[in-house]
Amino acid sequence: NPVSESLMLYISPGAVNNLKMTLFNSLGQSVRTAQNIQPAVSYTLDFRSLEKGVYFLSLESEGSRSVRAVVKQ
């Protein structure tokens, strides 16, 4: 962090299966979503088409949610 073109996301092998990933802009609008995110797999989020600014990456499973800020330069 910060990112300019892409963000590599890796979920720990001990994490739960079938996470939902949502990327929100600073207005709270969803700009990217993905379902069934699996642990021990690398994912690349493309930021090239997004405006510069702060985004919030949310990972959700049943009963749990983690949110991290990501800065796009």
Q: List residues bridging with 42 in a β-sheet.
A: 10
Predicted confidence at residue 1, as pLDDT, reads 77
Confirm if 36 and 18 have CB atoms less than 8 A apart: yes
Angle, CA 53 vertex, CA 18 and CA 36 arms, to 5°? 5
22-69 pLDDT per residue, tens: 999 999 999 999 999 999 999 999 999 999 999 999 999 988 999 999
* pTM, to two decimals: 0.90
Element (H, E) at 43: strand 42-46
Confirm if 71 and 2 have CB atoms less than 8 A apart: yes
Q: Average the pLDDT over 4-10 and give the result.
A: 95
pLDDT tier at 14, thresholds 50, 70, 90: confident
Predicted confidence at residue 10, as pLDDT, reads 94
Predicted confidence at residue 31, as pLDDT, reads 97
